[in-house]
């Protein structure tokens, strides 16, 4: 079988392979001139996993059979969609895959080589690839990290010592690292070892150099503000190398007392829905709220998702944010995971007006009065706490950046608070 074993942390749950035999040769090759990359993937759950009392599917879009064994293999479009979200996207994808000797469309080849430390609890183990016998740690000094940040255009951020290490899904350039209790950074590999944090520098300059340069500051401020107004968010720290780097704690990792790391299964909304990378911007808020049907605590998760949606509106995020919304997955279903990735957008998108909020309440089956009260409450909290957070971060975030963020936040909070009472009319 030209496939890979699929594990959820320490549990082997199935296998993944190319669905079309003509493409199978590329699964075992890393040469850029290899056969065509698989256009579809085939997934099968193991019977010994589906027979477990606490077994669960990788995602609602990839359901388990009642029992494993014959007939459990499937090759739906949702399989490639799910696993593609574990790989780098956007401009980062061709650079990372080229470093692996692959073409940008060879998702299976990349999964085979990068599968030992992915998002959530998923691990992919390939036959023929050397497996570390024990923990492997490679320290990263601050000076070395600063040097790498200054030359990211020459070498992808996730390539270290000629190898791709610590690459994660999404278009943003970032690096997964293990953070020691003393704060030291390491690239890790091996049984029961995994990254615990993500380092996120500013994006490459691109067309809007100023906005790109300030991205780490923006996200740091917005994440701290979100925590202050009561949203469940992951802890973040800002490091100056002197280049700004945001350190984000992974919500899908649990550090044990002996230093080992337990992986917690988590997926984004696109994976839950079976939506491809190409179509992720088409996901609607109605689709996001439909996922609450899989929640064991729908009232708790509905409020968390409502506040997440409203905060994104206040800071000017466009779209539904499906790729940034995460859920824990276990035998009980889906639970909304701590928020991450809040940042004021470079462009100011059209914000919700009263009619849009009313339509949202109707389509997502939420009482209009609940939307009104929650929006008023959140706007009041943001107006009360934004300047407090700005004062606390004055030594970390440049004053011009703080003034820009405060201006946008306070203006939009005032506007939304004024129209909130119109929603239920």
Read off the pLDDT of residues 130-160 as tens digits, 9 standing for 90 and up: 555 555 789 999 999 999 988 888 888 888 9
Residue 352 lies in a domain: yes
Domain final residue pick, 96, 126, 156: 126
Q: Is residue 425 part of a domain?
A: no
- Whether residues 277 and 416 share a domain: the answer is yes
- The whole-number pLDDT of residue 22 equals 43
Residues 178, 121, single domain; the answer is: no
| Three-state DSSP string of the chain | CCCEEEEECCEEEEEEEECCHHHHHHHCCCCCCCCCCCCCEEEEECHHHHCCCCCCCCCCCCCCCCCCCCCCCECCHHHHHHHHCCCECCCHHHHHHHHCCCCCCCHHHHHHHHCCCCCCCEEEEECCCCCCCCCEEEEECHHHHHHHHHCCCCCCCCEECCEECCCCCECCCCEEEEECCCCCEEEEECCCCCCCEEEEECCCCCCCHHHHHCHHHHHHHHHHHHHHCCCCECCEEEEECCCEEEEEECCCEEECCCCCEEECCEEEHHHHHCCCCCCHHHCCHHHHHHHHHHCCCHHHHHHHHHHHHHHHHHHCCCCCCHHHCEEEEECCEEEECCECCCCCCCCCCCCCCHHHHHHHHHHCCCCHHHHHHHHHHHHHHHHHHHHHHHHHCCCCCCHHHHHHHHHHHHHHHHHHHHHHCCCCC
- In this structure, the answer to whether residues 235 and 276 fall within a common structural domain is no
- 47 and 159 part of one domain: no
Query: Domain check: are 415 and 307 in the same one?
Result: yes
Domain assignment present for 189: yes
Q: Is 131 domain-assigned? A: no
Residues spanned by the domain of 291: 265-420
At 366, which CATH number? 1.10.1070
pLDDT tens string, the chain, 425 residues long: the values are 578 999 999 999 999 999 875 445 444 444 444 445 557 899 999 999 999 999 999 999 999 987 656 667 899 999 999 999 999 998 889 999 999 999 988 999 999 999 988 999 999 998 766 555 555 789 999 999 999 988 888 888 888 988 888 899 988 889 999 999 888 999 988 767 899 999 999 876 544 455 567 889 999 999 999 999 999 999 999 999 888 999 999 999 999 988 889 999 999 999 999 999 999 999 999 999 999 999 999 999 999 999 999 999 999 888 899 999 999 999 999 999 999 989 886 556 567 889 999 999 999 999 999 999 999 999 999 999 999 999 999 999 999 999 999 999 999 999 999 988 888 66
Quick one: 167 and 275 in the same domain? Answer: no
Q: Which of 93, 126, 159 is the last residue of a domain?
A: 126
Residues 404, 304 within the same domain: yes
* 145 in the same domain as 89: no
Query: 147 and 282: one domain?
Result: no
The total number of structural domains that make up the chain: 3
Q: Are residues 211 and 224 in the same domain?
A: yes
Residue 192 lies in a domain: yes
Same domain, 121 and 228: no
In terms of domains, do 269 and 413 share one?
Answer: yes
């Amino acid at each position: 079988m030209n496939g890979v074993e699929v594990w959820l942390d320490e549990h082997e749950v199935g296998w993944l392979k190319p669905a079309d035999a003509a493409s199978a040769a590329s699964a075992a090759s890393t040469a850029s001139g290899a056969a065509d990359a698989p256009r579809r993937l085939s997934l099968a759950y193991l019977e010994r996993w589906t027979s477990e009392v606490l077994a669960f599917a990788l995602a609602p879009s990839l359901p388990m059979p009642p029992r494993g064994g014959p007939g459990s293999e499937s090759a739906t479009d949702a399989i490639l969609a799910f696993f593609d979200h574990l790989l780098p996207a956007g401009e980062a994808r061709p650079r990372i895959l080229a470093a692996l000797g692959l073409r940008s469309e060879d998702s299976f080849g990349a999964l085979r080589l990068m599968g030992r430390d992915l998002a959530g609890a998923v691990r992919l183990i390939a036959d023929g690839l050397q497996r570390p016998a024990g923990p492997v740690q490679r320290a990263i000094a601050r000076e070395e990290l600063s040097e790498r940040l200054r030359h990211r255009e020459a070498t992808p951020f996730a390539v270290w010592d000629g190898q791709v290490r610590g690459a994660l899904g999404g278009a943003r350039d970032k690096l997964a690292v293990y953070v020691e209790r003393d704060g030291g950074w390491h690239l890790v590999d091996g049984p029961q070892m995994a990254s615990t944090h993500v380092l996120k520098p500013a994006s490459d300059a691109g067309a809007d150099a100023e906005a790109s340069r300030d991205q780490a500051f923006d996200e740091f401020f917005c994440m701290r503000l979100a925590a202050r107004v009561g949203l469940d968010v992951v802890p973040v720290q800002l490091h100056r190398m002197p280049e700004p780097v945001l350190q984000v704690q992974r919500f899908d990792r649990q550090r044990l007392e002996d230093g080992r790391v337990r992986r917690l299964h988590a997926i984004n909304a696109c994976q839950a829905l079976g939506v491809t990378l190409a179509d992720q911007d088409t996901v609607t808020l109605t689709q996001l709220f439909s996922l609450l049907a899989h929640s064991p605590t729908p009232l708790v998760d509905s409020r968390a998702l409502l506040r997440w949606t409203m905060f994104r509106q206040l800071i000017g995020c466009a779209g539904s944010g499906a790729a940034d919304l995460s859920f824990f997955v276990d035998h009980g279903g889906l639970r909304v995971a701590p928020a991450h990735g809040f940042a004021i957008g470079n462009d100011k998108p059209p914000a919700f007006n009263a009619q849009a909020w009313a339509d949202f309440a109707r389509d997502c089956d939420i009482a209009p009065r609940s939307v009104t009260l929650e929006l008023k409450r959140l706007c009041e909290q943001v107006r009360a706490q934004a300047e407090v957070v700005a004062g606390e971060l004055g030594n970390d975030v440049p004053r011009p950046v703080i003034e820009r963020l405060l201006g946008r936040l306070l203006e939009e909070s005032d506007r939304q608070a004024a129209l909130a009472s119109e929603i239920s009319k």
